[in-house]
């Protein structure tokens, strides 16, 4: 009888949360969190973080009965995924974060997700051409087009030097669509502003014809000269601009970055952020709530993130890694005050908070949907704007969901 009593008492304590596990299970698509967890585990002897990597923790979360204690990854803001998380109010100071990013993790006046990292679209160019730019930290589509056209060297429609063309990079076309207000967002399953998307594509087509003669001239130039990495093309002077994101730019080798400069791409008084923002959430069904809270309070401190960046530098992770979880930190003071210490090229280039425009909430399948349906559509429309046989975007998206069983 005594044994049964003790067993029942133990179960009661566990159910009340008095005896919680010391191990915190963390799911992530950010490999750097293995190093972060190691640093946390060494910093104290009360809890241990165990990291499990998945290509899409959001998608795995939606298909598993088991839930971890903490999830760090992309696409956690999806409404279907957010239901797995518990409110974080009281575990952090809202003033520490970029407010627009923090608000996206909010629902019904409670914070469920905290921003970990984000990236910014940019145009890079040879440092020798920095004098051409009007603004020390941003540029616009109009400026890129104007300077790109002026940079061209052409004879009889054949280019030996070309400043820039929108068709060089599908991701740049998507940034154009974002600036024009295409506004892709989650809505059973996804919706967008079709008129704004058409305007963006029309502007891209006009840009090519006004600045680079036509699509064929751009294709001929790319076939003949675009045989090396964009950074090499910029260094040689063959092109003036190339599209890149903040993370990709600062993952370039230091010796190559020394020859390059960049500007953030700005729309109508705002800088559209890359969609792959990383967020942090604690699961409702966590069995280690105290431990998960302790880890969150440790990670979201300026001193901690400074130490983590020192550690990634020490182990040379910075050779193929940028900042915190491959992006700017979601904590404003870290990005503004700590990042320039590790990346001197950011001095005078930190994007001001008031101009940052986070993406809309998108489904957790966004990466695949975008690469397989949306970007091919943009590419085909730019190359053949008058082609009536191009499959409409809504049909592509419908087919994508049907094929992928979503």
Bridge partners, 261 (sequence order): 125
Buried-state track 299-319, b at ≥16 Cβ within 10 A, e below 16:
bbbeebbbebbeebeeeebbe
For 316, the token pair is 């040379």
Q: Check if the beta carbon of residue 198 is closer than 8 Å to that of residue 132.
A: no
Residue 63 has pLDDT above 80, yes or no: no
State the Cα–Cα distance between residues 134 and 140, nearest whole angstrom: 10
For 132, the token pair is 């051409």
Evaluate the CA torsion angle 88, 94, 96, 98 in order and state its sign.
positive
Q: Give the residue-averaged pLDDT of 292-318.
A: 91
Residue 194 has pLDDT above 90, yes or no: yes
Confidence class of residue 229 from pLDDT cuts 50, 70 and 90? confident
pLDDT in tens, 368-382: 999 999 999 999 999
For 255, the token pair is 């010796």
Residue 388: per-residue pLDDT:
87
DSSP state of 159: E
Q: Give the residue-averaged pLDDT of 278-304.
A: 95
Domain 20-118+275-357 has CATH 3.40.190.10: yes
For 104, the token pair is 């996206």
CATH fit for domain 121-274+361-403, picks 1.10.1040.10, 3.10.129.10, 3.40.190.10, 3.90.1150.10: 3.40.190.10
Helix (H) / strand (E) element for 207: namely helix 194-211
Residue 91: per-residue pLDDT:
86
Residue 238: per-residue pLDDT:
95
Q: What region, left, alpha or beta, does residue 281 occupy, with left being phi > 0 and alpha being psi -120 to 50 degrees?
A: beta
Give span(s): CATH 3.40.190.10, the chain: 20-118+275-357, 121-274+361-403
Q: Check if the beta carbon of residue 235 is closer than 8 Å to that of residue 125.
A: no
Q: Which of 126-130, 155-159, 334-338, 391-395 has the lowest mean pLDDT?
A: 155-159
Confidence class of residue 18 from pLDDT cuts 50, 70 and 90? low
For 3, the token pair is 């044994």
Residue 4 has pLDDT above 60, yes or no: no
Evaluate the CA torsion angle 372, 375, 381, 384 in order and state its sign.
negative
Residue 46 has pLDDT above 60, yes or no: yes
Residue 268: per-residue pLDDT:
85
104/13: higher pLDDT = 104
Q: Check if the beta carbon of residue 260 is closer than 8 Å to that of residue 127.
A: yes
Residue 1 has pLDDT above 70, yes or no: no
State the Cα–Cα distance between residues 348 and 263, nearest whole angstrom: 11
Q: Give the residue-averaged pLDDT of 298-318.
A: 89
pLDDT in tens, 350-366: 988 999 999 999 998 99
Cis upstream peptide for 189 (omega within 30°): yes
Buried-state track 14-43, b at ≥16 Cβ within 10 A, e below 16:
eeeeeebeeebbbbbbbebbebbbebbeee
Q: What region, left, alpha or beta, does residue 188 occupy, with left being phi > 0 and alpha being psi -120 to 50 degrees?
A: left
Contacts of 132 (CB under 8 A, 6+ apart): 147
Residue 351: per-residue pLDDT:
85
Q: Rounding to the nearest 10 degrees, give the CA dihedral for residues 141, 144, 150, 156.
A: -80
Contacts of 19 (CB under 8 A, 6+ apart): 10, 13
Residue recorded with tokens 């795995």: 60
Evaluate the CA torsion angle 39, 40, 42, 48 in order and state its sign.
negative
Confidence class of residue 338 from pLDDT cuts 50, 70 and 90? very high
State the Cα–Cα distance between residues 89 and 113, nearest whole angstrom: 10
Q: Greatest CA separation found in the chain?
A: 98
Is residue 244 classed as helix, strand or coil in its secondary structure? strand
Of the candidates 331, 350, 332, 330, which has an alpha carbon nearest to the alpha carbon of residue 340? 350
- Helix axes of 375-383 and 194-211: crossing angle, nearest 10 degrees: 40
């Amino acid at each position: 009888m005594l044994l049964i009593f003790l067993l029942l008492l133990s179960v009661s304590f566990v159910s009340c949360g008095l005896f919680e596990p010391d191990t915190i299970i963390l799911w992530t698509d950010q490999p750097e969190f293995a190093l972060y967890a190691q640093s946390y585990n060494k910093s104290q002897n009360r809890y241990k973080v165990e990291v499990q990597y998945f290509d899409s923790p959001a998608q795995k979360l939606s298909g598993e009965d088991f839930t971890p204690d903490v999830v760090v990854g992309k696409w956690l803001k999806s409404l279907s995924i957010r239901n797995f998380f518990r409110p974080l109010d009281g575990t952090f100071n809202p003033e520490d974060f970029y407010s627009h990013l923090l608000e996206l993790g909010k629902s019904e006046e409670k914070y469920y997700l905290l921003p970990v990292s984000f990236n910014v679209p940019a145009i890079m160019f040879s440092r020798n051409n920095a004098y051409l730019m009007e603004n020390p930290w941003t540029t616009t589509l109009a400026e890129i087009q104007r300077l790109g056209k002026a940079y061209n060297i052409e004879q009889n429609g054949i280019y030996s030097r070309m400043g820039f063309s929108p068709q060089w990079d599908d991701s740049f076309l998507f940034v154009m669509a974002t600036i024009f207000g295409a506004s892709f967002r989650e809505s059973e399953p996804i919706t967008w502003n079709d008129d704004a998307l058409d305007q963006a594509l029309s502007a891209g087509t006009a840009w090519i014809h006004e600045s680079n003669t036509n699509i064929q001239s751009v294709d001929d130039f790319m076939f003949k000269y675009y045989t090396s990495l964009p950074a090499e093309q910029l260094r040689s002077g063959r092109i003036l601009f190339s599209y890149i994101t903040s993370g990709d730019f600062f993952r370039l080798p230091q010796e190559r970055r020394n020859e390059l400069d960049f500007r953030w791409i700005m729309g109508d008084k705002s800088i559209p952020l890359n969609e792959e923002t990383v967020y942090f959430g604690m699961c409702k069904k966590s069995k280690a709530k105290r431990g998960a809270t302790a880890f969150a309070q440790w990670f979201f401190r300026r001193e901690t993130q400074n130490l983590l960046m020192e550690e990634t530098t020490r182990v040379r992770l910075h050779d193929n890694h940028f900042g915190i979880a491959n992006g700017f930190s979601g904590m404003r003071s870290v990005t503004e005050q700590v990042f320039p210490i590790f990346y001197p090229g950011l001095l005078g280039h930190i994007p001001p908070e008031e101009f940052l425009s986070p993406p809309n909430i998108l489904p957790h399948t966004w990466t695949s949907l975008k690469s397989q349906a949306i970007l091919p559509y943009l590419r085909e429309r730019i190359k053949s704007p008058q082609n009536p046989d191009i499959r409409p975007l809504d049909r592509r998206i419908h087919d994508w969901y049907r094929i992928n069983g979503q």
